[in-house]
Chains A and B, each alone.
Chain A
């Protein structure tokens, strides 16, 4: 069975909602990447929007854009991945508990702090009674949701799935993790790949895909989604890569672009250079997190970018490739890793 990406919806730190332009100009941010927020009124009543954490609004908007793009009214399943969940609501409720010594609390932010709130709100607004899962497995949350989506389509339990990756950043999250030295603090996001500083620059986003077993003006087909857990062994990676290539009957040279999750952190980026050096020395490569920042589900942004490149047959100038492609880009392999967890996603043009 072929799996097609028929629709996209991406609320990100770039102008990614308008499908008529494709990353024509790059937006820079101070300290960390913040999403360009759409007009939520279209999807959520102003009263409800005022009470909602940002990630819920981002998710609902991106999901709606995606369904509209794919011309799907009510999806057969809604599967979401989020590494950190509804941070803003969680922080609000936690701070209220701590500051008011457990007194005078109201339930709204608690209700919305649950990790499945985004998926639940999408279902609620669509009155969608179908399968609804939320994965929360660190930097493999989106990939877990992706694997389940494919399984559901292959089981024949769904003919289309709304798949998404959502994570938000908050000032508290930024400053707490800055103490741990994770960020290039006080930087402009234009300095993302500045190798003279340690750490990365965090970001956020809500990226949705309409997957289907039948093509409808599709962006791409999904050839493989694989995860590796708690390993830094080159052999383990090679085994999975070999499996991906052989099951799709292709060789490494057939992959036109390797899209790397490099995030500007010296230590972490060494893994990407080694990956390229070990397995795809001759292939063209590019990175994408200078557009969205580092966050648990940032690979969803990478899949969005790959899908757009495959359909529009163009690589935007803000995506710096290792060399100008000498032929059409038909196959893209996305490689992402964080702390011993790795993911490999192979997409092809249709």
Chain B
């Protein structure tokens, strides 16, 4: 079980770019993707800001090379684009012999299409061609379509643990590789914006009407986003044998449950604390050895206080440099763990810490300030990446420089 699991490919699409390079450029130019709703038909247009991928389904279909006569969702298209980028970057198309898996994650799957068609589905007299979209509703459907686009058949599954979903798919992939169950895995997640989620979070009154301000005292909530992020992971031996570029190592991981409330985080951040602590243990690192935390940092009063409390419990007064890249991408729900795994790897590779935008003042309760300007030339040996979700589902990943 001492096998090292390494990252050999990255893929991402988000409001700040359609591929890894574009995302990196936006992150280093301090260019967020938050703005008015364009692609969704909702009464909240012009009121609630979101972080949309600025392409129509048709454009995404073209980019994904998907036959748009088949029933397909925006979720699947975003997923294909990011997963294929990672797959090709790792050169996986050139090695046939290894057992390859695809582990994806999503919070609402094909809801974007379902909410448009639901009333027609319910009308017994309405029996058109649209009925073919019925099979695109469930969360596993996008996984099957993306795996099909990549030609992966050896293993696939889908995880849905709300906002920690795609961190958990990376964790499962790493465990399966260590156990020798599979040689390499494309792991991450995808979510598209839906009227369903916008209204859901709006009823919880945790959407900021301005740009989100993670960890700032004036924070009012999160901005919802969409996108997909995947990484290719494999055993170090397999990567070396195949001469694939090793970008970083998946050093540690953990999943715990806060067991406090269905949607709120506990005041002492118990689940978050345990997840970070366990991830460090798995990585064989002490708290001092973490150079940077890509925090969950949604910008809700509850999350940031709970997460900050957990960080203070674990790191004492030596909290490492940290930032929330959700100030660029918004909260992409089931995709955020995957997207932030890509960003964490970019941080290690480029010796760069991306700033936490919109931060002005520390929250009153904690003496914690994120990085607010771009830091380059930082030797980052280990990054901790947090993802916490509804249902108290908390995950932490550790990425290490190789």
Contacts and interface: CB of A to CB of B under 8 A. Distances in A.
A155 B120 CA distance: 48
A169 B44 CA distance: 32
16 contacts: A84-B138, A94-B114, A97-B115, A102-B42, A110-B204, A111-B262, A136-B158, A137-B140, A137-B157, A138-B138, A138-B144, A140-B157, A151-B176, A172-B122, A177-B134, A229-B156
B348 to A, nearest CB: 26
B274 A129 contact: yes
Query: In the complex, which of the residues B119, B124, B138 has the most CB atoms of chain A within 10 Å of its own CB atom?
Result: B138
B161 A116 contact: yes
Given A97-B115, A120-B257, A123-B257, A107 B131 contact: no
Contacts of B360: none
Contact of A123 (B118, B144, B157, B259): B259
Given A110-B203, A120-B390, A130 B256 contact: yes
Interface of B: 1, 42-44, 106-107, 109, 114-115, 118-119, 121-122, 124, 127, 131, 134, 138-141, 143-144, 147-148, 153-162, 168, 172, 175-176, 179, 181, 195-196, 199-200, 202-204, 255-263, 270-271, 274, 389-393
B115 A175 contact: no
Interface in A117-140: 117, 119-121, 123-124, 126-138, 140
A125 B134 CA distance: 34
Given A123-B257, A151-B179, A115 B107 contact: yes
B125 to A, nearest CB: 10
A175 B123 CA distance: 9
A114 B390 contact: yes
Given A97-B199, A179-B131, 10 more contacts: A93-B200, A105-B202, A114-B160, A117-B390, A121-B391, A133-B172, A148-B172, A177-B134, A179-B124, A230-B144
B195 A229 contact: no
B158 to A, nearest CB: 4
A338 B305 CA distance: 46
A107 B264 CA distance: 13
Nearest to A154: B179
A101 interface: yes
Q: How large is the interface on A (under 10, 10 to 19, 20 to 34, 35 or more residues)?
A: 35 or more
B392 A124 contact: yes
A114 B139 CA distance: 11
A210 interface: no
Contacts of B172: 133, 148
A116 B162 contact: yes
Contacts of B127: 179
B160 A85 contact: yes
Contacts of A147: 157
A180 interface: yes
A202 B392 CA distance: 32
A246 to B, nearest CB: 17
Nearest to B101: A229
Given A115-B139, A135-B157, A120 B393 contact: yes
B138 A83 contact: yes
Given A111-B204, A230-B148, A97 B259 contact: no
A189 interface: no
A84 B155 CA distance: 20
B271 A129 contact: yes
Contacts of A93: 196, 199-200
A101 B176 CA distance: 45
A94 B390 contact: no
A3 B160 CA distance: 26
A227 B182 CA distance: 13
B103 to A, nearest CB: 9
A131 B203 CA distance: 29
B131 A180 contact: yes
A144 interface: yes
Query: In the complex, which of the residues A101, A105, A107, A227 has the most CB atoms of chain B within 10 Å of its own CB atom?
Result: A107
Contacts of A296: 138
A106 interface: yes
A174 to B, nearest CB: 11
B269 to A, nearest CB: 12
Contacts of A105: 199, 202-203
Interface in A76-111: 78, 83-85, 93-95, 97-98, 101-103, 105-107, 110-111
A336 interface: no
Query: In the complex, which of the residues B157, B159, B199, B263 has the most CB atoms of chain A within 10 Å of its own CB atom?
Result: B157
B147 to A, nearest CB: 7
B33 to A, nearest CB: 24
Instruction: Give 7 nearest A-B pairs by CB, closest first.
Output: A120-B391, A110-B200, A138-B140, A115-B160, A136-B139, A107-B203, A144-B157
Contact of A175 (B44, B122, B203, B391): B122
B262 A120 contact: yes
B153 A110 contact: no
A231 interface: yes
Contacts of A175: 122, 124
